[in-house]
């Protein structure tokens, strides 16, 4: 598999909105809640993070809905079908493992 790392010039970048989706529920079993509560108590309030003011390479300005693109060291993102009129919307499909975070955490613990 070939890959290319792009440096994005601020002068030539195009604006985008990026949506980072996480687990919908805080627990593996959403029904595992205190008495008197329902599964809604297990909802993850941070399951969707919307990043505005993002900038991407100009080649993505013509990206078609459903196409997948890797954002360096972040993950794979799919162009949202709601992308229209020059407003690019990307949804994270898969995040990448952050090996550096694991190393830093181990160093702090040790």
pLDDT surpassing 60 at residue 1: no
What is the overall mean pLDDT for the chain? 85
Domain CATH for 79: 2.40.240.10
Q: Enumerate residues 6+ apart whose C-beta is below 8 A from 69.
A: 60, 63, 76, 77, 79, 90
Mean per-residue pLDDT, 5-33: 86
Residue 49 belongs to a domain: yes
pLDDT for position 81: 93
- What are the backbone dihedrals phi and psi of residue 104, each rounded to the nearest 5 degrees, phi first? -60, -40
In three-state secondary structure terms, 90 is strand
Does 92 fall in a domain?
Answer: yes
Number of structural domains found in the chain: 1
């Amino acid at each position: 598999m070939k890959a290319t790392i792009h440096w994005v010039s601020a002068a030539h970048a195009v604006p985008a909105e990026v949506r980072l989706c996480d687990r919908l529920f805080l627990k593996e079993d959403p029904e595992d809640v205190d008495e008197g509560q329902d599964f809604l108590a297990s909802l993850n309030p941070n399951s969707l993070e919307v990043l505005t003011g993002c900038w991407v390479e100009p080649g993505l300005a013509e990206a078609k809905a459903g196409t997948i693109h890797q954002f360096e060291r972040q993950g794979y993102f799919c162009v949202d079908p709601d992308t229209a009129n020059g407003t690019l919307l990307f949804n994270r499909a898969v995040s990448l493992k952050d090996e550096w975070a694991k190393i830093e955490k181990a160093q702090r613990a040790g």
